[in-house]
Structure 1
Amino acid sequence: MENEIREHSLNFNRRRFLSKLSLGLGSIGLGSLLIPDLFTQNNADDGPIFSPGIPSFAPKAKRVIYLFQNGAPSQLESFDYKPKLREMMGQDLPASVRGGQRLTGFTANQAALPLVGSFVDFKQYGESRAWISDLFPHTAKIVGDICIVRSMHTEAINHDPAITFFQTGAQQGNRPSMGAWLSYGLGSENKNLPAFTVLISRGKGNSQGVYSKLWSNGFLDSIHQGVQFGKGDDPVLYLRDPEGMNKLDRRKMLDKLSVLNELAYDELGDPEIIAKVKQYEMAYRMQTAVPETLDISQEPDDIIKLYGTECLIPGTFAANCLLARKLSENGVRFVQLYHQGWDQHANLPGDITGQAKDVDQASAALVTDLKQRGLLDETLVIWGGEFGRTNFSQGQLTKDNYGRDHHPRCFSIWMAGGGIKPGIAYGQTDEFGYNVVENPVHVHDFQATVLHQLGLDHEKLVYKHLGRRFRLTDVSGKVVKDIIS
């Protein structure tokens, strides 16, 4: 390795000399190594410099666990009770209600849009008397701990742009995800674990794809990218030392590699070199921290019973919820779960029953578990998908079967902990479950509120890239103060 370093230092031509000269004093490189954002100037000249790692004000929450229901669960079979739809079963959606809203290619050419009431019954729970369907009995038990937002709305009508919009604040991708923004804005609480982790599970229904762009760092340093954890003995690929290499050998290799990278940084000034060094060091520390954190063998029987026995099967939603709690209590800033299978264009009664059974107990268990450990107040838990489902049937409506198309105009999510008011239902849709009529909450409003709970002003959490100020909420969004305790 010493020979390689010597050869690298001698490989110095006119182009490299001029490049090195243009960088100025070596202290610039040293300063940006120690404080990566010291010379970034990533904010516009007309505003205060954002200081990464320092909240704008006192936070209500320290961490986020986002249970993303990929594919869009039907609000009409979960948290938005509409008896009117049963009364008008089979009748065409009134044009006055639709208001010329765009339809997807699945239903745009249907001769009729027959209204369909939910196959499942609803009951009221808690002091708020919130309506929850019989598909979610465990969620009904924690209704006093959650805030159901029934007035979410978005512009995206197809899955990929809609999911990307929720996760990154833009529909086209190539932007930092919410977890990356929080990693950049607040840093990590545990130097041995990444600030942003991703867990994926798959249900029994029609699955939409989940792509790495959803946990991308975008134009932020790559150290802020989400780290995907898989199932099995190797949750993080290539984390273990290869055969024939021990811990001491790995440490020596990283030390020598760091010297080479510092030489390269001195010559090229590329901040990604520093980010790469940080990633190598993080991976080294994770070799010990990840197996310890993800080990559930010491969890007591009452916790296994709380989450359900599926939590013992790696890769299931229940297992990922338990891992999310363990990651969060160990200081991971943003834990992102994706559960696929909610895209029920047909056979909705059968498919959503299985999907709800997959997630209901474990979702409620996570809230209960955090609460009994005294962690719910500082952990914001979010449950929901990318849009809602239509109040009319896609394709032929029969007595026992129907499907629902995509519906961006209104849908439901719930939030718990992290300074969110518990035991309330916020917002209202019309009696057809088609339009928001009270307290609308846009995707950017939701994102602004999440950042606010972690002590970040969404208008100040900006990064200057290609001459423009970027932020998670783009140029809009307002904090939904009515749901904050």
Structure 2
Amino acid sequence: MSNNSRRDFLFKASYGVGGVALSGLMPGGGLFTTFANAASLIDPLAAKGPHFPAKVKSVIWLHMDGAPSTLELFDYKPDLIKMAGQQIPDSFLKGLKAGIRGGDGKLFVTDRTWKQHGESGAWFSDLLPNLAKQADKLAFVKSSVTIGATHDISILKLNTGDLNPGRPSLGAWIQYALGSANPDLPAYVVLYNDKKEPTGGSINWSSGFLPAVYQGTAFRPGASPILHLDRPELIAAGQQQGSLDLLTKLNRVRGAHYPEDTELQARIRSYELAARMEVSAPEAVDLSKESDATKALYGLDEDITKSYGQTLLRARRLVERGVRFIQVVSGPQDIAGDSRNWDGHNDIEENHRTHSKVVDKPIAGLLADLESRGLLDSTLIVWTSEFGRTSYGQSGTGRDHNPWGYTQWLAGGGIKAGTTFGQTDEVGLQAVGKTMDTYDLHATVLQLMGLDHLKTTFLHNGRSERPTVVYGEVVKELLA
């Protein structure tokens, strides 16, 4: 055996010893319970078996950045309309601390027209005419709650389950637990349609205390979503491969001395993946071969929907290619005033009219396209936000942040379509009855991916950590 082979063997063996210690914490549990789990001790991205048969293969996580007011979109409240302009009665503020209520206290409505749609009779405002046609595909959660009322903190909780940096995002947990279904693409991809990172930045797709290899890979908007992916023109393929081989060998030699250095392991994997992605990634995000009809379905023929439509069409193409978790952040518009995202503190009428137009047609198109291709039953779509907006006004024309009761929805495989879970009070301020916190949403998503959130664990600083932190329940009422 050569020195290099011996080093490689020792490196893999040392990595495997650590993996054996963690094998009982991996999906399936126990020592080398499956061939896939055994392979994962050497390759952390190897496909692993779920705890039980999965309902879906991929998740498209649609984050509406800035927090839309679901009182303008889904949560029809006749009493709020009748009481508009009045000071909110104290009975609706019960349990809320005066210092965090915000706003001016006067109940507020915008000029919306409401109708029921589909056999489910789901309420939609006139801001979402295209999505309304997909009403019977959706399962609404109208009693969503969270903690925190500032964007960065609540977005972090939405994605990682915690108010402080350092925990893995939901996509990282899924990639850790299930590995990759396509060795030529990342299993966890982040898409956004802005020139810079979304609110809160990359910490929202971080691997946290998990090995760094499980963090999300951000694809930028535009014709070249992955920077520096193409081989330089003056470097031949053989020359590039020789450089990569030398770099890999040097990294593995160092890795043999520092097997606990997950950043190094992630870097090695990223170089290997990047080489394969030179061929696979451009094809995966290339929309030129999509039909004109498909492009129109996503709104690529209209200026206001083109950018977000391209993002969602790429999400569908990634689903087709086995990417497990696609985190899509709705991007800002180059419009003056308070319209950069859904954060409608001022002139919420104009803000939500703009952003509804941006997302309505592309999301409806995504649902219809997935269904026509036979992919909807194996894909979970989640419309989500960091929080909602208050039923009372702010600045006369807007709404403040509301973590106490707002609407989210799910669609796709394993979901009881055409249903509604939970409700808010008569003015849409607080959830009443059974609620769904972020932890419950994460537990439900993991369940549909074939993972028990209580058994999806990782040993960190002597403690067995899980995605739902300290609590969380699967919302069975949403499951088919």
TM-score w.r.t. length of structure 2 = 0.88
Residues 251-273 of structure 1, C-alpha deviations (whole Å, 9 max, x = no match): 11111122112211222323423
The alignment status of 1:119 with 2:105, answered yes or no, reads no
Counterpart residue identity of residue 261, structure 1: N
How far apart, CA to CA, are the structure 1 residues paired with 2:99 and 2:66?
A: 15
SS across alignment from 1:350 = helix
- Paired amino acid for 2:364: A
Cα 1:392–1:471 shift into 2, 3 Å: same
**Whole-Å separation in 2 of the counterparts to 1:465 and 1:311:** 49
| Structure-2 residue corresponding to 1:17 | none
Question: Does 1:187 find its partner at 2:179?
Answer: yes
- Structure 1 runs not aligned, ≥5 long: 1-5, 10-24, 397-401
Q: Which residue of 1 aligns with 2:350?
A: 350
CA RMSD of aligned residues (A): 2.6
Match of residue 473 from structure 1: 468
1:358-395 CA distances to partner (integer Å, 9 max, x unpaired)?
00000011011001000011100111211110000012
The answer to whether the aligner puts 1:134 opposite 2:126 as a matched pair is yes
In the alignment, residue 321 of structure 2 is paired with which amino acid? N
Q: Is the 8 A contact 2:56 2:379 kept in 1?
A: yes
Residue 137 of structure 1 deviates from its aligned partner by 0.6
1:319 aligned partner: 310
1:456 is matched with which residue? 451
Q: Distance in 2 between matches of 1:307 and 1:35?
A: 48
Q: 1:478 to 1:267 in 2, by over 3 A?
A: same
CA distance in 2, matches of 1:373, 1:320: 18
Residue 378 (str. 1) matches residue 374 (str. 2): no
Once the two structures are TM-superposed, the CA of residue 73 in structure 1 deviates from its matched residue by 0.6
Q: Which residue of 2 aligns with 1:411?
A: 406
TM-score normalised by L of structure 1: 0.87
* SS of 1:392 mapped into structure 2: strand
Unaligned runs of 5+ in 2: 41-47, 332-340
Query: CA 1:442–1:387 in 2, change beyond 3 Å: closer, same or farther?
Result: same
Does the alignment pair 1:423 with 2:418?
Answer: yes
Q: Does 1:226 align with 2:221?
A: no
Q: Bigger shift: 126-135 or 444-453?
A: 126-135
Fraction of identical pairs, as percent: 39
Counterpart Cα distance in 1 of 2:98 and 2:213 = 40
Partner of residue 390, structure 2: 390
Task: Report the CA distance between 1:208 and its aligned residue.
Answer: 7.1
Letter in 2 for 1:328: V
SS in 2 for 1:369: helix
Q: Decide which structure has the larger Cα Rg and report it.
A: 1
Q: State the partner residue of 2:12.
A: 30
CA distance in 2, matches of 1:223, 1:160: 24
Pairing 1:146–2:141 present:
no
> In 2, Cα distance between the equivalents of 1:157 and 1:170?
13
**Alignment-derived partner of residue 265 in structure 1:** 255
Letter of the aligned partner of 1:369 in structure 2?
D
Task: State whether residues 231 and 314 of structure 1, in contact with CA within 8 Å, keep that contact through their aligned partners in structure 2.
Answer: no
Conserved? CA contact 1:232–1:314, under 8 Å: no
Further displaced range: 466-475 or 446-455: 466-475
1-side partners of 2:185 and 2:301: how far apart?
A: 26
Using the TM superposition, give the Cα deviation of residue 40 of structure 1 relative to its aligned residue in structure 2, in angstroms.
3.9
Counterpart contact for 1:104–1:406, Cα < 8 Å:
no
Partner of 1:173: 165
Q: Is this contact kept in 2: 1:311–1:322, CA < 8 A?
A: no
The aligned amino acid for 2:86 is Q
Distance between the aligned counterparts of 2:229 and 2:17, measured in 1?
A: 27
Post-superposition offset of 1:198:
0.7
**2:193–2:221: 8 Å Cα contact kept in structure 1?**
no
In structure 2, distance between residues paired with 1:194 and 1:185: 14
Give the match's secondary structure for 1:77: coil
* Matching residue's letter, 2:326: V
Q: Does 1:440 align with 2:444?
A: no
Shift of 1:298: 0.9
In the TM superposition, residue 312 of structure 1 has moved relative to its aligned partner by 8.8
Task: Name the amino acid aligned to 1:187.
Answer: G
Contact 1:75 1:411 in 2 (8 A): yes
Residue 363 of structure 1 corresponds to which residue in structure 2? 363
1:274-293 to 2 correspondences below 5 Å? 274-293=265-284
Contact 2:116–2:123 at 8 Å: present in 1 too?
yes
Report deviation, 1:65.
0.6
Deviation at 1:116, TM superposition (A): 1.0
Post-superposition offset of 1:28: 5.7
| Deviation sequence 1:132-171 (CA, Å, 0-9, x none) | 1110011110011111111111112111111100100111
Contact 1:208 1:343 in 2 (8 A): no
Q: CA deviation at 1:95?
A: 1.2
* 8 A contact 1:81–1:122 mirrored in 2: yes
User: 2:325 matched to which residue of 1?
Assistant: 334
Q: Does 1:94 align with 2:89?
A: yes
Amino acid aligned to 1:291: P
Q: Matches of 2:383 and 2:151 in 1, distance apart?
A: 17
Partner of 1:399: none
Deviation at 1:324, TM superposition (A): 0.3
Shift of 1:319: 0.8
Count, aligned residues: 451
What's the secondary structure of 1:135's corresponding residue? coil
**What is the distance in 2 between the residues matched to 1:34 and 1:251?**
27
Q: Distance in 1 between matches of 2:181 and 2:431?
A: 39
